[in-house]
Amino acid sequence: MPFQYYFSRKQLHATPFSAKMGTILPRRMPSRLLVTGGCGFIGSNFIHHILNSFCDIEFDSCDDDHVLYSNNYQEMEIDLLNMDKLTYAADPDNLKIVSDYSGYFFEQCDISDYARVIEIFENFKPECVIHFAAESHVDRSIESGYEFMVSNVLGTHVLLEASRKVGVSLFIHISTDEVYGSTDHDSFSENSHLNPSSPYSSSKASSDLVALSHHNTYGTPVIVTRCTNNFGPRQHPEKLVPKVIQLASQDCKIPVYGSGMQVRDWLYVKDHCQAILDIILKGEVGQIYNIAGRNEINNLEMIDSILRRIGKSSELIEHTNDRQGHDFRYSVDDGKLRSLGWEPRISFEDGLDYTIADTINRLGLGKK
């Protein structure tokens, strides 16, 4: 979409913010948002969630989970630019309905393309950047880590440079609990040391440090979030939950790495989106916030939960050789975030029901 359309509505400019002057954030919702990776899983859910929450428009078609997430925010106009490279994991159809909203704009862009990113930022002038875009599949990073380093590390640096150049008020860097590595018993706090095990998690740990260094050096108003495993609508079928739903629905074998006893903490994606929104409104610049579901189960338990719901046998499970560098357990302490008033609203059980129904519908698995 041509740049002149960015200012067809109320024209607002970002106000430069110096974290050296303090860490008080505006309590109002920024009205000009730039989202990277918005055609992906979490990014598209976040865009739906923001526009549902503030623009009095119900875009969501995933059963009625948006009813459980009705917020009482004051209605306002939001201009939102989605910047996405449209790699294999992105799906523009995730935002097909959103595209009818007059304040939604899209630019296809590689975030590591410095000149292009600068051009987009200078024309749109975002107040707030929410950076989801990342190569995120661990298996792919083990096969070849190059794209992970380019996108996740260099791309983050480019976005931060652009943000500094136009003076954004807030930069939310979306990261992962995997940067901490594995733990047998305890839960990691935001002050725990980083011990990534895969090319993917090491690229995310590196990008976290790049983001925080921009805050420390230039006063860029950065906040880093590190969330546990997400599940929900619009997730790419290479990920565990939609993959199991798809394979089981077709009576295909379900490959499970090693013993399947690896433990992950699961959070429904809409709760993650609300956590990010609460951090935008209440978070402290220069800080890291862990986000957890407090639903720790092993992979076999997750698979069994899905199989029971769709009436399939555990005999479909097929154990394979374990993955290289496979972390056994992820666990983070999110007390810092919960002190801001956030907590999950959608139970693991309800979220899994919504996810199965949505995945079967989207992939056409219920058709004979």
Task: Provide the percentage of residues in the chain whose pLDDT is more than 90.
Answer: 82
Q: Would you state the structure tokens that stand for residue 314, as one six-digit string?
A: 């555990």
Q: Residue 15: pLDDT above 60?
A: no
What whole-number distance in Å separates Cα of residue 217 and Cα of residue 212?
A: 9
Q: Calculate Rg over the CA atoms of the chain.
A: 20
State the catalytic residues: 177-178, 200
Q: What integer best gives the mean pLDDT of the chain?
A: 90
Q: Tell me how far apart the alpha carbons of residues 223 and 204 are, in angstroms, rounded to a whole number.
A: 14
Scored b (16 or more CB within 10 A) or e, 167-203 reads bbbbbbbbbbbbbbbbbeeebbebebebbbbbbbbbb
Distance CA 57, CA 262 (A): 40
Share of the chain above pLDDT 70, in %: 88
Q: Which residue has the tokens 């009205």?
A: 31
Dump pLDDT digits (tens) for 122-167: 999 999 999 999 999 898 999 999 999 999 999 999 999 999 999 9
Taking residues 325-333, report their average pLDDT: 96
Sorted by sequence, the CB contacts under 8 Å of residue 50 that are 6+ apart come out as 33, 78, 80, 273, 277
The CA-CA-CA angle for residues 278, 279, 281, to 5°, reads 65
**Residue 46 CB-half CA count within 13 A:** 29
Query: Is the model's pLDDT at 62 over the cut of 70?
Result: no
Give CA separation, 22 vs 19, 284, 285, 327, in Å.
5, 10, 9, 38
Q: Decide if 57 contacts 103 (C-beta within 8 A).
A: no
How far is residue 241's CA from residue 45's CA, in Å, rounded to a whole number? 16
Listed residue (63, 177, 68, 169) closest to 126, CA to CA: 169
Alpha carbon separation from 136 to 38, 198, 200, 346 (Å, rounded): 14, 11, 6, 24
What does residue 35 show for φ and ψ, rounded to 5 degrees?
A: -110, 125
Q: Which of 262, 293, 267, 291 is nearest to 277 (CA)?
A: 291
Domain ranges (residues) in the chain: 29-234+269-294+331-344
Distances (CA, A) of 235 to 42, 242, 268: 8, 7, 11
Residues 6 or more apart whose CB falls under 8 angstroms from that of 118 comprise: 161, 162, 165
Kindly state the DSSP code that residue 329 receives in the 8-state scheme.
B
Average confidence (pLDDT) over 294-318: 97
Burial-class residue 148 by CB neighbours within 10 Å (0-12, 13-18, 19+).
buried
Class of domain 29-234+269-294+331-344: alpha beta
**Confidence (pLDDT) at 73:** 87
| pLDDT tops 50 at residue 82 | yes
The per-residue pLDDT for 28 is 85
